[in-house]
Amino acid sequence: MKVPAIPGRDSLAILRGRETRGRGAGRRRLAEQPLGFWLAAIWLAALVFFVLFAPVLGFLADPDGYSRNVLQGVGRSHWFGTDELGRDMFARVIWGGRLSLLIAAIAVAVGILVGGLMGLLAGFFGGWVDTALSAVINILLSLPALILALFIVTVLEQNTRNVIIAVTILAARAVARIVRAQTLRFREREFVTAARCMGARTSRLLFREVLPNLVPIVVAFTFLGLGLVIVGEGGLSFIGKSVPSPAITWGGILAVAKGKLADAPHLTIYPAIVMFCTLMAVNYIGDTLMRRFDVRQSLI
Amino acid sequence: MAFLRRLASRLVQTAAVVLVVTFVTYWMLSLLPSDPCFLSVGTGATEELLAECRERLELDRGLFAQYGAWLGNMLTGDLGESYRNGIQVTESLRDKVPVTAWLILYTTVLSVIVSIPLGMLSAVRRDTWVDRLITGGAFSLLALPSFVLGVVLALIFAAKLGWFDLGGYVSPTAGLLAHWKSLVLPVATLTAGIMPFFLRLLRSDVITTLQEDYVEAARAKGLPRWWILLRHVLRPSSFTVVTVAGLNAAQLINGALVVEIIFDLDGMGTYLISAVFNQDFLVVQTLVALIAAAFVATNMLVDATYPLLDPRVRVRNR
């Protein structure tokens, strides 16, 4: 008697809802990306380079280095000019970005872990687990972002750690909502039912069947979340409730520059452009990925 | 009937969320080491004065009792008074709410007015350069947070061109023109922040509607193009616009906070921020509660009235 062929790896993967890809498909996909995607990636790579190596790059070493060239315009020695104390604005933008991006990276990473787990559990188990977790999520969502962050920093005392906590909550509540909705979609799919019928344990269903399917959307959210958090922290520091001085982030640079709009527009323009390009880049990459994975909620 | 039941259950949910939010904020603020009586009495505080003040504010009662009293006062319209200067919160709000309310109202109206023609145009001319220009422009606006765009607009139109001055808010009673002029830049900043959401939604909505059979039928009847767009396409899509407009109006308080600082408008945002900096926590508590209630209630209202506006949803829900 002929034994029916055991489905190969590939068909199993299809069953799990994951796409199978031949070798080289990844590379082809990258090459298919539109020009904007590459511009965005290059901008982010350059920014990350400057931000990471700021302490080693001699000309950027000291954002607080005073010079006699006060309020100088853009020039060869000062790419973005200098401020009223003679500090190099390019160095300040990079060092400000260092902190802005560090906060954003931590907040998004922790936010995805915490919010993702909340959303996963709520969506997968339903029932009272969902009711309880959704209540928490809804309560966190019941305040506009900036008000929530401002409130948290006020209650917890204003320091860098608490600013990170505040913006992490902003990221977490967004992830939780998206992941819950996606989990609801996947838990009813055939491959999950099949695994359940085969006697898979809950942990396997959660982490081996459902979770891998959430990876694309979480990757896409990583970029959108970075934007969300950079804006959130920027807003906080613009109203003077973010990292305590002398530490500075992009929002803080703009808040200071606001006082000198008429005399020194370069203090505003260049930080604004850098921030715009960065947000544009993360939004663009995030949105392209979201659309690729066909998620309705692109750009939450 | 189904609608009423839905509305009732949403109402209960909303009330529950508002209760929990206000309680949690109340509790968290009460954990702070700051003593409102110290603020209220000032530097010349003696023990008797402090004790008398604690008595008056009933600070020695338990958390639940305090919260209950505060909530009762809130519900009866007594928002309490600032520990800092003794001014009634309702008194302060009387001048400040209109500023923020005008900001939000103008922004919502302007966003709808701008996004409808642009959204329809980019949907009708889908995938042409017009569409790319419009959607690309909207996408770029999303990368401009209000504190970036606001400062840049202030720089260009106030500091450089001198078209507007950053002199603060002018009430409509002092002349409509001056009132509008004082709000042009803030409203432009806020509009840039939410209009893209309207536009994107409307665009995808219209694209879907354009493929409906009844649009095809209308075209076959030889109805003029503008008539089809207006009556057959825009009408069903307008519900979407109403929904996002409602949902975003509440979200606008975020931007208002920042914009009021940039343009020196004396509204709810500046009030909240100054209360935070002055550690005037009763005011913070009250404002956060009001904002949360308004925010959640708007979301609920939009959600609940949606079937009333759109007959298709109503039928489906039956």
CA–CA dist A181, A258 (Å, integer) = 41
Which residues are within 8 A (CB) of A106 and not within 5 positions of it... i.e. 6 or more apart? A164, A168
On chain B, the residues whose CB falls within 8 A of the CB of A268 are: 151-152, 155
> How far away is chain B from the Cα of A143, in angstroms, using its nearest Cα?
5
Which of B155, B200, B283, B300 is the best residue to mutate to test the A interface, defined by the most A CB atoms within 10 Å of its own CB? B155
The neighbour count for residue B243, using CB atoms within 10 Å, is 17
pLDDT per residue, tens digit, chain A (300 aa), is: 444 444 444 444 444 444 444 444 444 455 566 788 889 999 999 999 888 887 777 666 566 666 666 666 666 666 777 777 767 788 888 888 889 999 999 999 999 999 999 999 999 998 899 888 988 888 888 888 888 998 898 888 888 888 999 999 999 999 998 899 889 888 888 888 888 888 888 888 888 888 888 888 898 889 999 999 999 999 998 888 888 877 788 888 888 888 777 777 788 888 889 999 999 999 989 888 887 776 554 444
pLDDT on residue A170: 93
Give contacts of B 140-159 with A, CB under 8 A: 140, 142-148, 151-152, 154-155, 158-159
CA–CA dist A161, A167 (Å, integer) = 10
DSSP assignment of B75-90 equals: HTT---B-TTT--BHH
Q: Please tell me if residue A131 touches chain B, with a CB cutoff of 8 Å.
A: no
Which residues are within 8 A (CB) of B136 and not within 5 positions of it... i.e. 6 or more apart? none
CA–CA dist A30, A42 (Å, integer) = 14
Give contacts of A 247-276 with B, CB under 8 A: 251, 254-255, 257-258, 261-262, 265, 268-269, 272, 275-276
**Half-sphere exposure of residue B128: CA atoms within 13 angstroms, side-chain side:** 7
From the list A222, A270, A255, the residue with the least C-alpha distance to A73 is: A270
Q: Please tell me if residue A283 touches chain B, with a CB cutoff of 8 Å.
A: yes
CA–CA dist A240, A255 (Å, integer) = 8
On chain A, the residues whose CB falls within 8 A of the CB of B152 are: 268-269, 272
Question: Dihedrals φ, ψ of A177, to 5°?
Answer: -65, -45
Structure confidence by residue, pLDDT tens digits, B239-282 = 778 777 877 877 788 888 889 988 888 888 888 888 888 888 88
pLDDT on residue A45: 92
From the list A142, A234, A251, the residue facing B292 with the nearest CB is A142
The neighbour count for residue A185, using CB atoms within 10 Å, is 14
pLDDT on residue A229: 93
> How many CB contacts within 8 angstroms connect chain A with chain B?
119
Residue ranges for chain B with pLDDT beneath 50:
317-318
Give contacts of B 156-185 with A, CB under 8 A: 158-160
Spell out the alpha helix ranges (H) of A4-126.
9-15, 25-32, 35-53, 89-125
Confirm whether the ipTM is greater than 0.85: no
pLDDT on residue A87: 75
> How far away is chain B from the Cα of A1, in angstroms, using its nearest Cα?
54
pTM of the model: 0.83
pLDDT on residue A3: 44
On chain B, the residues whose CB falls within 8 A of the CB of A143 are: 21, 288, 291-292, 295
What are all long-range contacts of B76-83, with beta carbons under 8 Å and residues at least 24 apart?
Answer: B79/B286, B80/B282, B80/B286, B81/B282, B82/B275, B82/B280, B82/B282, B82/B283, B83/B36, B83/B37, B83/B39, B83/B40, B83/B57, B83/B280, B83/B281, B83/B282
- Radius of gyration in angstroms for the set of CA atoms belonging to chain A, rounded to a whole number: 23
From the list A258, A227, A256, the residue with the least C-alpha distance to A92 is: A256
From the list B76, B231, B221, B202, the residue with the least C-alpha distance to B134 is: B202
CA–CA dist B273, B100 (Å, integer) = 14
From the list B20, B147, B253, the residue facing A147 with the nearest CB is B253
The helix or strand, by DSSP H or E, that contains position A75, with its residue range, turns out to be none
Q: For chain A, what's the residue count?
A: 300
From the list B29, B142, B147, the residue facing A155 with the nearest CB is B29
Residue of B nearest to A224 (CA): B143
pLDDT on residue A20: 41
> How far away is chain B from the Cα of A202, in angstroms, using its nearest Cα?
31
Tokens of B199: 């536009």
pLDDT on residue A205: 87
